[in-house]
């Protein structure tokens, strides 16, 4: 009677292996995040804004918008869609709620990531005094987290965005806070 149990275990084990293999692409990564850096290019005086996003995540959002499966490429169509998406969901807003002009530089795709490049050519002090609105991929995936690292002149900050926190000042007020007990 031991033989059927061994065969059954082998059969269940084989099914489990096949199931895990079939889930491999769906479980490519278990978190959804975009990492952005904003740094001053000392030679040009412009601020370079570089976003790194998982290629699968951006392809899923584009596919959802087009209602079909998409293999992301650097085609003119995908560049235009990505530029429009970034313009809609990523902005730097001055104290009058007006967006600062961010120029689209382009995007590159490697095996795992899409690199999106933007540039700001205005007054750096005005940029530092502004807020960032970062809604990239928010609402598309569970637990989307976007981080923006800012290194401008003497200012450094790391901002973490979530669905509950889409907008933050680049420069936090450093006035001491009073604590009452």
- What pLDDT, on the 0 to 100 scale, is given for residue 166? 97
Neighbours of 72 (CB within 10 A): 20
User: Which pLDDT value is given to residue 23?
Assistant: 41
What is the model's pTM? 0.78
Cβ atoms 127, 144 nearer than 8 A: no
Closest C-alpha to 157, from 16, 29, 55, 37? 37
Instruction: State residue 174's pLDDT score.
Output: 53
**Which tokens belong to 2?**
């031991």
The one-digit pLDDT tens for each residue of the chain (181 residues) are 555 554 545 445 444 433 434 444 444 567 799 999 999 999 999 999 999 999 999 999 988 887 888 888 889 999 999 999 999 999 999 999 999 999 999 999 998 999 999 999 999 999 999 999 999 999 998 899 999 999 998 889 999 999 999 999 999 765 444 444 4
Per-residue confidence (pLDDT) for residue 178, from 0 to 100:
44
pLDDT at 22: 40
Domain positions in the chain: 1-30, 31-169
Distance (Å, whole) CA 59 – CA 72:
5
């Amino acid at each position: 009677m031991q033989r059927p149990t061994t065969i059954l275990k082998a059969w269940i084990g084989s099914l489990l292996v096949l199931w895990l293999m079939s889930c491999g692409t769906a479980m490519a990564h278990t978190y959804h995040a975009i990492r952005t850096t904003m740094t001053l290019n000392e030679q040009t005086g412009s601020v370079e804004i570089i976003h790194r996003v998982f290629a699968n995540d951006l392809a899923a959002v584009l596919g959802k918008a087009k209602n079909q499966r998409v293999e992301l490429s650097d085609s003119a169509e995908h560049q235009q869609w990505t530029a429009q998406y970034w313009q809609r969901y990523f902005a730097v807003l001055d104290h009058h709620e007006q967006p600062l002009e961010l120029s689209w530089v382009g995007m590159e795709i490697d095996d795992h990531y899409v690199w999106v490049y933007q540039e700001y050519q205005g007054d750096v002090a005005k940029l530092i005094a502004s807020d960032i609105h970062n809604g990239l991929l928010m609402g598309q995936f569970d637990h989307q987290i976007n981080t923006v690292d800012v290194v401008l002149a003497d200012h450094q900050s790391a901002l973490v965005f979530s669905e509950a926190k889409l907008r933050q000042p680049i420069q936090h007020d450093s006035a001491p806070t009073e604590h009452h007990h």
